[in-house]
Amino acid sequence: MEQIFTHWPLILALLAVGGVAGLTSGLFGIGGGAVMVPALFYAFTELGVPEHLVMHCAIATSAAVIILNASRSTKAHHDRDAVDVSLVWPRRKWWQSYGLWIGVGSFIAAIWIAPQLSNVVLTRIFAGVAVLVALQFIFGRPNFVLRDTVPRGPAPMIAGGSVGVLSSLMGIGGGSLSVPLLSLCGVPIHRAIGTAAAFGLFIAVPATIGFILSGWSVSGRPFGSLGYVNGLGFALITLAAWPMVPLGAKLAHKMDATLLRRVFGICLALVAVNMARKTGVF
């Protein structure tokens, strides 16, 4: 009980972060990881978690929260017919499912790649990829497309697997990667966001399982952790995020597509710059 009173500012901060994460999950189809990872990074640092474990625990806990955020966001967008189920998991040719290969890449990254990377490297991956995606959304032409349809054949394995790996290493729901990819392939922004929300489930579930297994016997993890996933952080953020997801989805379908892209990019850029600053990049 004494620890709870001692850390009440962090508890309130995590509740606030949960609300913002839930809102952004529904609004941008990103699962809220871009908000949660930096906040959890700060919280675990303040709680005295060893530096070499801070980012791993932040990413893993974010992935666990995204399971619930993405599930609710997917339902909200599906109710508005904004999820392309044929891309997520086609009835035929399941081996060409983007969801399948996104999940495979996510699991490999969580159970094998992430444990071999340092805290600084993980943080810089998060910041670097986020900056590139943010620039595309802020300055890219909204109507610019590379092709009229989403590619099939080996593309789901290559592109989907890559999205899964990077998303798992960043602790995000994949929307910041899959939304621009879908948009460049001619998918309207609102439908791209809804489909990205569904992809988030295929990222978060395997990633969470992988981080639990890979962090199972690691010493120095914060109290109440299952592998790298921290139960307290998960509970607090989920509590606040859950009621905010439908509101975000509702707002997404009322906003202008161009404005939505720019708001998404600006928010992502701010987070990326802050994370880069923490690693001493500038």
Predicted pLDDT at 31: 61
Residue 139: its pLDDT value, please?
80
pLDDT of residue 167: 92
Please identify every stretch of the chain with a pLDDT value under 70, giving residue numbers as ranges.
1-7, 9, 28-31, 141-144, 257, 261, 278-282
Burial class of residue 62 in the structure, from the number of CB atoms within 10 Å of its CB (0-12 exposed, 13-18 middle, 19+ buried): buried
Q: What is the pLDDT of residue 53?
A: 92
Q: In whole angstroms, give the CA distance from residue 7 to residue 12.
A: 9
pLDDT at 24: 74
Q: Which of 49, 46, 75, 71 is nearest to 60 (CA)?
A: 49
Q: How far is CA 102 from the centre of its chain?
A: 13
pLDDT, position 30: 64
C-alpha to C-alpha distance for 62 and 228, rounded to whole angstroms: 10
CB 74 within 8 A of CB 198: yes
Half-sphere exposure of 142 (CA within 13 A, CB side): 13
For residue 169, the model assigns a pLDDT of 92
- Report how far residue 264's alpha carbon sits from residue 221's, in angstroms, rounded to the nearest whole number: 33
Contact 137, 28 (CB under 8 A): no
- Give the CA dihedral 98, 258, 141, 85, nearest 10 degrees: 10
pLDDT per position as a tens digit, 52-64: 899 999 999 999 9
Residue 148 and residue 85: Cα distance in Å, rounded? 18
Tens-place pLDDT, residues 249-269: 787 777 776 777 687 788 778
Q: Are 231 and 14 in contact (CB under 8 A)?
A: no
Question: What single letter denotes the amino acid at residue 166?
Answer: L
Task: Give yes or no for a contact between 54 and 194, defined as CB atoms under 8 angstroms apart.
Answer: no
Q: What span, in angstroms and rounded, lies between the C-alpha atoms of 282 and 270?
A: 14
